[in-house]
Amino acid sequence: MGLEQAMEVYIVQKDSHYWFSARKLRHEVFFRDFGLSEEVMDDAGESSAVHIVATQSGELIACVRLNQSSEARYQLSQMAVALKHQKKGIGKKLLEYLEILAVERGAQEIFLNARLSAIDFYVKQGYQVKGDEFPSAITGMHHIVMFKAMGTFNPNNT
């Protein structure tokens, strides 16, 4: 059985088992190497976010947050795929799920602050760079704003 057949993607509630697992994965991928505690993730978006996870055989393998920024704008943040599962199309599947969910909720645009190392991934998924790079206020790592207009998005063409 291939990975795509065994992988499940769905929304989890804050304080659930998978939310705690996702929190650990996000910390490992984004903050641990900077010596930061998990509490750094307790930002304004954490409690209001829709938390989406990908699991395989009960193991959390990827996660992402989705926040509504305005009536028709949504922000994707802290998308993380476990190291041993990277480069297998999991991020793409997670992003497709997030985009469908956002459009169902009225999104006309999705934006994110991408690490420079992730720009190519997002460009391949139809995102565009906007503006200049900037350092993260938390880690100092350089990011750039990216966005995708969802007005013509058709989830059946993904």
120-138 pLDDT per residue, tens: 999 999 999 999 999 998 8
Domain ranges of the chain: 3-157
Element (DSSP H or E) covering residue 104: helix 90-104
Q: What pLDDT sits at residue 156? A: 54
Closest by CA to 51, choosing from 85, 93, 101, is: 101
Both tokens of 51, joined, read 């938390």
Virtual torsion, Cα 111, 140, 81, 158, nearest 10 deg? 20
Instruction: Determine the CATH number of domain 3-157.
Output: 3.40.630.30
Q: How far apart are CA 14 and CA 23, in angstroms?
A: 10
Give the dihedral sign, CA 149/47/136/120. negative
User: Over 60: is that where the pLDDT of 23 sits?
Assistant: yes
Amino acid occupying residue 41: M
Of 35-39, 57-61, 146-150, where does mean pLDDT reach its minimum? 35-39
| pLDDT tens, residue by residue, 13-22 | 999 999 999 9
pLDDT digits (tens, 9 = 90+) for 25-46: 999 998 988 888 888 888 888 9
Q: Is 107 exposed, middle or buried (0-12, 13-18, 19+ CB in 10 A)?
A: buried
